[in-house]
Amino acid sequence: MTLTLLADIGGTNTRVALARAGRLLPETIRRYPNDHHPALEPILSAYLAEEGAEPVTGACVAAAGPVREGVAVMTNLDWRITPEGVARTTGAAQVAVLNDLQAQGHALGALGPEALQPILPGTPALPGASALVIGIGTGFNAAPVHETAGGRFVAASECGHVTLPVRCDEDIRLMRFLQADHGFASVEDALSGRGIAAIHAFLRAETGHGAPRDAASILTAVAMGDALSQATLRIFVRLLAGVTGDLALTHLPFGGIFLCGGVARAVAPHLARAGFAAALRDKGRFSDFLAAFPVTVIADDYAALAGCASYLQARRG
């Protein structure tokens, strides 16, 4: 059976693995720090040499950045990924380059129940209903998932770089705080790992209290009862829920909303207490309508690799 090579390039690490007949082989997964390598191709070469695998017939790369005409330019990394470069390095005859959220969308249906953490129930949907994947990690992005007569279609976007929505005085002050650093306040500036740290810095500036923290230490401090960290989490969850609700009304994902990425997994235990459900459904006369969409966290850090495998297999017929 055919062997294919898979790669998922995040903002910090690149995960590489093999798949056989469209199924990810978990024992082949390796992780490489991006800052130790000048480009993707040396990582793929090192991986193939380490694995000593038989020749691969296909390769699929998921990249955290926009893909245009098959070429990916990383958003938070100075790399450019081309099908030609991947083909030269791997010897694969079939090569695909996807946005990382597209890969997550193609993973839906290929993940076991242990990889899915339900957050909110919804109304049962008909088979083939559209879904929505939202990634919160080093950055923020989302992709709608549609089942069509020609197969699954996952639309790419860069919606993490749209304007951060504001609804109250606190939001306006946060927006101005973020603008002071970036000149523009995007969704990703608040809803990402660095966004958690930025919200914490905003509250420190407002209150005159607290010391600088990164996202991981803020979430640890939440569990320890630190008031500033808890306030940071509440703002983050409120903004996340609001943006999620906006995207749900845009795409009508009756098949479910799926949150993925390291930050999504880290905040999942706090969503209920921080008021995620109420903020998600705070849409005026459409509040009850939003209860139709179930929300789930993808707990599998390697889901994008499974999505790459599924994508290649589907295109082989």
For CA atoms 14, 20, 26, 29, give the dihedral sign.
negative
**Counting Cβ atoms within 10 Å, is residue 183 exposed (0-12), middle (13-18) or buried (19+)?**
exposed
pLDDT of amino acid 164: 98
Tell me the pairing of strands 295-298 and 116-120.
antiparallel
Tell me the pairing of strands 23-24 and 295-298.
unpaired
Number of compact structural domains in the chain: 2
pLDDT of amino acid 317: 62
pLDDT of amino acid 1: 55
Is 121 in the same domain as 255?
Answer: yes
How do residues 201-234 score in pLDDT, each as one tens digit?
999 999 999 999 999 999 999 999 999 999 999 9
Is 96 in the same domain as 136?
Answer: no
Is 272 in the same domain as 310?
Answer: no
Six token digits for residue 202:
């905003």
Which residue range forms the structural domain that includes residue 290? 113-299
The string of DSSP letters for 96-113 reads EEEEHHHHHHHHTTSS-G
Report d(CA 66, CA 133) in Å as an integer: 16
Neighbours of 125 (CB within 10 A): 16
pTM value is 0.95
How do residues 48-70 score in pLDDT, each as one tens digit?
999 887 899 999 999 998 999 99
Say how many Å lie between the first and final Cα of the chain, rounded. 14
CATH number assigned to the domain comprising residue 208: 3.40.367.20
For CA atoms 125, 128, 132, 137, give the dihedral sign.
positive
Is 14 in the same domain as 161?
Answer: no
pLDDT of amino acid 316: 81
**At residue 19, does pLDDT exceed 70?**
yes
Among candidate residues 233, 304, 218, 312, the one with its CA nearest the CA of residue 11? 304
Looking at residues 198-202, what average pLDDT do you find?
Answer: 98
CATH number assigned to the domain comprising residue 92: 3.30.420.40
4: left (phi over 0), alpha (psi -120 to 50) or beta: beta
**At residue 236, does pLDDT exceed 80?**
yes
Is 123 in the same domain as 271?
Answer: yes
Is 285 in the same domain as 152?
Answer: yes
**Percent of the residues in the chain that have a pLDDT greater than 90, as a whole number:** 92
**At residue 76, does pLDDT exceed 90?**
no
- Chain mean pLDDT for the chain: 95
For CA atoms 275, 276, 281, 284, give the dihedral sign.
positive
Is 243 in the same domain as 263?
Answer: yes
The helix or strand, by DSSP H or E, that contains position 296, with its residue range, turns out to be: strand 295-298
The answer to whether 192 and 140 have CB atoms below 8 angstroms apart is yes
Report phi then psi at 16, rounded to 5.
Answer: -130, 145
Is 170 in the same domain as 248?
Answer: yes
**Percent of the residues in the chain that have a pLDDT greater than 70, as a whole number:** 99
